[in-house]
Amino acid sequence: MRAVIAERYGKPEVLQIKNVEKLTPKSNEVLIKIKATSITAASTFMREGKPYFGRLFVGLTKPNVKTPGTDLSGVIEAVGSDVKNFNAGDQVMAQTGLNCGAYAEYICLSSDELIVKKPEKVSHEEATGIQDGACTALAFFTDQVKINAGQKVLINGASGSIGTAAIQLAKQFGAEVTAVCSTKNKALVKDLGADNVLDYTKSEWQNCSETFDVIFDTVGKLSYSKAKRNLNPKGVYLTPVLTLSALMYMLFVTPFTKKKLKFAATGMRKHEPRMRDFIQIRDMLASGKITTIIDRVYPFEQIQEAHAYVDTGRKRGNVVVRF
């Protein structure tokens, strides 16, 4: 079978496709033939080993796991003798977390890991593409704040993977959503349900005097110090990007103020809440309550090009690699 092998940190060229021995499932495992995997912003940071403190979790001098990739959709080809919850032929979507391994034609996963059945009418590309952004956004909207009907929510980075999912989820929860993006993405975020759109390239956000219950800075470009003037007295600034300044505010400032800053590494939560969110996202995708925004689909052979594109920081929604 073919798999990406990355022996070191670096630019997309470190991702080399090699022939490796095909995997055989253990008694508690399923063997999945992967049909599509996602190239997430986080996976490009993991490839580079940056920020450096992240290496505490993925390997100090080189990656602990040689085959990257955290999200996938595929078909179960074989199951171990003890597996009761899946059968060969089942179409599934799965997340591997820090164990990675999704940039390969096959993967073996324990049947009690984050694997759910894929809705039939959802494509493998949509099924993998939704996972990172939507599961992250949902985790913030359930664990860090509770979004209630009528609340005013501002989403910065609204055209990215987390942003496009966050707009749709906040609307599902009944919020009034203001999306911040650049000119070229205004139509996209409006189509996803944003009530108001502010163009950050035209100072529309910088000149905004409105206040919000929640500001979700999905790309970590605003900073708490700038955003707090637009927070209601008990408003919350959420970010999935842990900068040094965010850490300092979180430790030394916001414990003593009413306007909070909250960060979470959602992929490092316990299995139970992650599975709960994964099932909810799968069901919302199946019922059409949310959709996957796919910017580009690359063939597996062009995984370096896919990474280089995600490195630009300009993707709209999600980038997927198809096998």
The answer to whether 107 touches 25, Cβ cutoff 8 Å, is no
Nearest approach, Cβ of 294 to ligand NAP (angstroms)? 12
Site for ligand NAP in 108-137 (CB under 6 A): 132-133, 136
Q: Which stretch binds ligand NAP (CB under 6 A): 106-114, 151-159, 224-232, 247-255?
A: 151-159
| Cα atoms in the Cβ-side hemisphere of radius 13 Å centred on 96 | 25
Task: Identify which of residues 41 and 130 has a Cβ nearer to ligand NAP in the complex.
Answer: 41
For residues 56, 271, 86, 128, the Cα torsion angle rounded to the nearest 10 degrees is: -60
Closest contact distance (angstroms) between CB of 189 and ligand NAP is 10
Smallest CA-to-CA distance from 97 within 73, 128, 132 is with 132
Using CB under 6 A, which residues numbered 220 to 249 contact ligand NAP? Answer: 220-221, 240-241
Dihedral (Cα; 211, 217, 169, 137), 10-degree rounding: -140
Question: Which residue lies nearer to ligand NAP by CB, 235 or 317?
Answer: 317
| Position 160 contacts ligand NAP (CB under 6 A) | yes
What backbone torsions phi and psi does residue 42 show, to the nearest 5 degrees?
-65, -35
Binding pattern for the stretch 266-295 against ligand NAP, x by CB under 6 A and - elsewhere: xx----------------------------
Task: Give the footprint of ligand NAP on residues 25-54 (CB under 6 A).
Answer: 40-42, 45
Q: Rounded to whole angstroms, how far apart are CA atoms 130 and 153? A: 21
Please tell me the count of residues contacting ligand NAP according to CB under 6 A.
34
Q: Are 253 and 231 in contact (CB under 8 A)?
A: no
How far is CA 252 from its chain centroid?
28
Classify residue 102 by burial, with Cβ atoms within 10 Å: 0-12, 13-18, 19+.
buried
Q: Mark the segment that binds ligand NAP (CB under 6 A) among 23-31, 55-63, 145-153, 217-225.
A: 217-225
Could you tell me the smallest distance in angstroms from the CB atom of residue 86 to ligand NAP?
Answer: 27
From the list 316, 320, 321, 323, which residue makes contact with ligand NAP (rule: CB under 6 A)?
316
- Contact range with ligand NAP by CB under 6 A, out of 8-16, 94-102, 147-155, 311-319: 311-319
**Encoded amino acid at 132, one letter:** D
> Which of 2, 200, 223, 289 forms a contact with ligand NAP (CB under 6 A)?
200
In the complex, which residue's CB is closest to ligand NAP?
160
Tell me which DSSP letter residue 41 carries: H
> Residue 205's beta-bridge partner residues?
none
Q: How far is the CB of 97 from ligand NAP (least distance, A)?
A: 11
Of 163, 184, 146, 95, nearest in space to 262 by CA:
146
The answer to the question of residue 298 lying near ligand NAP (CB under 6 A) is no
Judged by CB under 6 A, does residue 262 bind ligand NAP?
Answer: no
Which residues neighbour 124 within 8 Å (Cβ) at sequence distance 6 or greater?
35, 36, 73, 74, 91, 118, 322
Scanning the structure block, which residue is given the tokens 């800053």?
Answer: 261
Position 202 contacts ligand NAP (CB under 6 A): no
Residue 102 in contact with ligand NAP, rule: CB under 6 A: no
Q: Is 170 in the site for ligand NAP (CB under 6 A)?
A: no
CA dist 286 → 96, 194, 281 (Å): 21, 22, 9
Question: Cα(275)–Cα(279) distance, rounded to whole angstroms?
Answer: 6
Kindly state the smallest distance separating residue 229's Cβ from ligand NAP, in Å.
17
Residue of 15, 180, 197, 261 interacting with ligand NAP (CB under 6 A):
180
Applying CB under 6 A, which residues contact ligand NAP? 40-42, 45, 132-133, 136, 156-157, 159-163, 180-182, 184-185, 200, 218-221, 240-241, 264-267, 313-316
